[in-house]
Amino acid sequence: MNIKISDLSKVYSNGNKALNNINLEIESGMLGLLGPNGAGKSTLMRIMATLMLPSSGKVTVNDFDLVKHRKEIRTMLGYLPQDFGSFSKLTTWEFLDYSASLAGLKKKSKRSDEVEKMLQSVGLFKFRDRLANKLSGGMKRRLGIAQALIGDPKIVIVDEPTTGLDPEERIRFRNLLSDMSREEIIIILSTHIVGDISSTCSKMALLQNGELMFQGTPNSLVEKAKGHVFRIMAYDSDLNLLKEKYPVISTIPVDDSWEVELVADNLNGYEGKEIAPNLEHAYIYFVEYLLPEMTSERNNSNW
């Protein structure tokens, strides 16, 4: 599977610029699309799910044009929107059965088998007769992923899937997605939570103000932060200064002082121990130090 996004932009009718000239190639596997609220993630997801037209640019899926070949692309697609969760008066089973028929599973016996299998794999089989509206938030999300995955889609798009889930549900959900992430399918997961990406995604893309600021493996982002994450022991008086100067990741009280973990370009005289960055550190280093440089370079080159 291959998705190619070329020079893609979206301006809403009220003039909001949501995406600006995005270029991205997506291969089989799981891609994490990371960015703060308002970055343009949902807009990109809705365009990819053929629910909205771009203002300009092009998306191809295995050489099918997203705009010209909507029908073909929709048969390959499973989509979990951010606001998934209203089911009228259907039971869990009926809802998934209906989703399966929309996904092209016309034969009743085959559909039944698939619905049962999918309910088992998301842990909802014993709730099959419960009204879907009466499921808990986490269960609704699981039903959401089940309806996105039923019918063997080749592209699965999930928008902020872990929002509102407790930590245990979040981990279950991630595991479920990574179990599904087989060789020949593309899963695109959008999130503003770094932890959603680190454990599951082989590739990531970072959106900010409608622009694609980074694409690559999570490890390659982590590499960029090497030598820029420190652990410092600080007294109360220093702690506030450090917080003013640097993005502080954590502060742990130790005896009469604090163990502070922070991200910095350099420590400017403070004594600290360099520590190995994780993806959260790397994201913060990127956003706080590398992005401003990139943005000012772009602005300068526009002059």
Contact call for residue 208 and ligand ADP (CB under 6 A): no
**Separation CA 14–CA 173 (nearest Å):** 36
Helical axes 108-121 vs 137-149, angle rounded to 10°: 140
Least distance CB 201 / ligand ADP (angstroms): 17
- CA atoms within a 13 Å half-sphere pointing along the CA-CB vector of 189: 33
40 binds ligand ADP (CB under 6 A): yes
Q: How many residues bind ligand ADP (CB under 6 A)?
A: 12
132 binds ligand ADP (CB under 6 A): no
Q: Which is nearer to ligand ADP, 14 or 109 (CB)?
A: 14
Write out the DSSP string of 103-145: TT---HHHHHHHHHHHHHHTT-GGGTTSBGGGS-HHHHHHHHH
- 242 near ligand ADP, judged by CB under 6 A: no
Among 16, 21, 219, 250, binds ligand ADP (CB under 6 A): 16
Question: Which stretch, 31-39, 124-132, 259-267, 280-288, contacts ligand ADP (CB under 6 A)?
Answer: 31-39
| Cβ within 8 Å of residue 258, ≥6 positions away | 233, 234, 235, 236, 239, 251, 252
Binding test (CB under 6 A) with ligand ADP, winner from 39, 103, 118, 194: 39
Are the CB atoms for 21 and 78 separated by under 8 Å?
no
With CB under 6 A as the contact rule, which of the stretches 10-18, 127-135, 168-176, 265-273 interacts with ligand ADP? 10-18
Asked if 34 interacts with ligand ADP (CB under 6 A), we say no
- Token pair 């009204």 in the structure block, residue: 131
Among 2, 12, 175, 220, binds ligand ADP (CB under 6 A): 12
**CB hemisphere CA count around 287 (13 angstroms):** 18
| Residue ranges binding ligand ADP (CB under 6 A) | 12, 14, 16, 18, 35, 37-43
